[in-house]
Amino acid sequence: MSNPTGKGGFQDRKHHINKNGRPRSFDALRKMAQEMFIRPALDAGGEPVKIDGKPASIVEVVVWKMIHSKNPKEVELALQIAFGKVPDNMELNQKGEIIIKVIRE
């Protein structure tokens, strides 16, 4: 159905326009997310969030919260971001069987 009011689509709601549009690929989405994460983090009052007395980016605040979380999965993810994933060891014994050792605490 056409527009029965005769008003233009976004005329009354110009702030709802997505000027950049939907990302065309995952790489474009990744780039957009990276650009958003490096922006300065702001508190509820619009003031810059500071870590150790310095203004922090959004990604710094997210990682800081992960490191100081009580959830061990978040801490583990922060460690993996910082130092890489711990490899799972795979070994072959004399019989050609695969032995997989997964060490979890």
pTM here is 0.56
In this prediction, residue 42 carries a pLDDT of: 94
Question: How far apart, in whole angstroms, are the C-alpha atoms of residue 2 and residue 69?
Answer: 52
Classify residue 4: in a domain, yes or no: no
Give domain status of residue 18, yes or no. Answer: no
Question: Please, which residues have CB within 8 angstroms of residue 44's CB and are 6 or more apart in sequence?
Answer: none
Instruction: Give the per-residue pLDDT at 2.
Output: 60
What is the total count of domains within the chain? 1
Query: How much is the pLDDT for 62?
Result: 95
* In a domain? residue 15: no
Q: Which H or E run contains 21?
A: none
In a domain, 39, yes or no: yes
- The answer to whether position 8 is within a domain reads no
Q: Is residue 93 part of a domain?
A: yes
Question: Is 5 within a domain?
Answer: no
Residues of the chain with pLDDT under 50: none
What is the structure's pLDDT at 76? Answer: 94
pLDDT value of position 96: 65
Beta-bridge mates of residue 89: 101
For residue 27, what pLDDT is reported?
A: 85
Residue for token digits 């990604």?
Answer: 59
What is the span of the domain harbouring residue 92?
Answer: 23-101
Distances (CA, A) of 70 to 62, 63, 65, 74: 14, 13, 10, 8
- Sequence-ordered alpha helix ranges (H) in the chain: 26-37, 58-67, 72-83
Do the domain assignments include residue 59?
A: yes
CA separation for the pair 18, 23 (Å, rounded): 11
